[in-house]
């Protein structure tokens, strides 16, 4: 198994609760580096020069943020793992709430917000059938808005929300343990338990959903997800509509004027 090294550097390697963690000063994208690594390996970098967000967006990854990619095994039928992106969001939300931010919330599918500002984002890549790479970007005491002024007012960071930013090692330990737990839950076949937790946690607000493939957009009330992870909306006519995750390009929350 080889690691793609974009820059002449060797990672620091340490073991955390069954995970082998590779740490770099700089990476293109930790998820790209993790693509060929075995399960229970994670990659962290101080900065990413080509951080990737969902739907092909660039992810600003400046110093003092947590940029982490964790490789999880996904044995058996791919359908068993369709909820993994949601499970990862639930795992990270639990960590953030546990730090003393009970007001942190999820926006479908797995963004973590405080109020209207984004604190963390998650991108799940399937580079192979046997593994998934869960890429987590968490703003700790970095300032993405100084890198990209378009993000002004759009992002939150832990250091502004807590008396002090938690140490990186403690964050890593908590995040990796939470991922392990949620992975075990899905592996044991308890997708319904996850669904129940998530449907309890969503704020049932008005949303604007842009469909993939240029198939238009729809406004509706978010009702949660079904056991396959599809998005459930109540449309303006009062009908319930179901959208598999791959059919949704973007979901935007609608706030009253
Ligand atoms: C999103 O668009 O909300 C998902 C952002 C995911 C960013 C993380 S940072 C660590 C990992 N490496 C990447 O290139 N992306 C993910």
Mean pLDDT to the nearest integer, 50-76:
96
Ligand 1 probe mutation, 44, 113, 123, 136, most atoms within 8 A of CB:
123
For the CA of 65, the nearest atom of ligand 1: 9
CA of 141 to the centre of ligand 1 (A): 17
Question: Which of 132-141, 212-221, 247-256 has the largest mean confidence?
Answer: 132-141
| pLDDT at 6 > cutoff 70 | no
Q: What is the pTM of this model?
A: 0.94
pLDDT of the residue at 17: 94
CA of 4 to the centre of ligand 1 (A): 18
For the CA of 48, the nearest atom of ligand 1: 14
Mean pLDDT to the nearest integer, 90-95:
98
Distances (CA, A) of 57 to 60, 123, 227, 233: 10, 11, 28, 25
User: 3 falls in which pLDDT band (50, 70, 90)?
Assistant: low
CA of 54 to the centre of ligand 1 (A): 7
Whether ligand 1 lies within 6 angstroms of the CB of 28 is answered as: no
**Per-residue pLDDT reduced to its tens digit, 175-199:** 999 999 999 999 999 999 999 999 9
Whether ligand 1 lies within 6 angstroms of the CB of 123 is answered as: yes
Ligand 1 probe mutation, 4, 49, 67, most atoms within 8 A of CB:
67
Task: Compare 227 and 118 and report the one with higher pLDDT.
Answer: 118
CA of 106 to the centre of ligand 1 (A): 16
Whether ligand 1 lies within 6 angstroms of the CB of 155 is answered as: no
User: 79 falls in which pLDDT band (50, 70, 90)?
Assistant: confident
Whether ligand 1 lies within 6 angstroms of the CB of 73 is answered as: no
Q: What is the mean pLDDT of the chain?
A: 94
Whether ligand 1 lies within 6 angstroms of the CB of 183 is answered as: no
Whether ligand 1 lies within 6 angstroms of the CB of 46 is answered as: no
Whether ligand 1 lies within 6 angstroms of the CB of 121 is answered as: yes
């Amino acid at each position: 198994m080889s690691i793609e090294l974009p820059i002449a550097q060797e990672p620091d390697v340490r073991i955390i609760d069954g995970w082998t963690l590779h740490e770099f000063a700089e990476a293109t994208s930790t998820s790209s580096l993790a693509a060929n690594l075995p399960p229970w390996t994670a990659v962290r970098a101080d900065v990413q020069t080509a951080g990737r967000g969902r739907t092909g967006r660039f992810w600003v990854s400046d110093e003092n943020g947590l940029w982490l990619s964790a490789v999880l095994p996904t044995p058996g039928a791919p359908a068993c793992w369709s909820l993994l992106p949601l499970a990862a969001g639930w795992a990270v939300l639990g960590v953030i709430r546990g730090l003393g931010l009970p007001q942190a919330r999820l926006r479908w599918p797995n963004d973590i917000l405080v109020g209207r500002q984004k604190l963390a984002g998650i991108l799940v890549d399937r580079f192979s059938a046997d593994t998934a790479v869960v890429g987590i970007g968490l703003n700790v005491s970095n300032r993405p808005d100084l890198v990209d002024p378009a993000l002004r007012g759009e992002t939150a960071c832990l250091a502004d929300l807590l008396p002090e930013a938690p140490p990186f090692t403690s964050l890593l330990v908590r995040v990796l343990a939470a991922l392990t737990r949620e992975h075990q839950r899905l592996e044991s076949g308890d997708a319904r338990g996850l669904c129940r937790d998530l449907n309890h946690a969503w704020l049932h607000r008005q949303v604007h959903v842009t469909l993939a493939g240029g198939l238009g957009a729809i406004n509706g009330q978010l009702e949660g997800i079904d056991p396959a992870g599809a998005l459930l909306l109540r449309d303006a006519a009062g009908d319930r509509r179901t959208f598999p995750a791959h059919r949704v390009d973007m979901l935007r929350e609608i706030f009253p004027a």
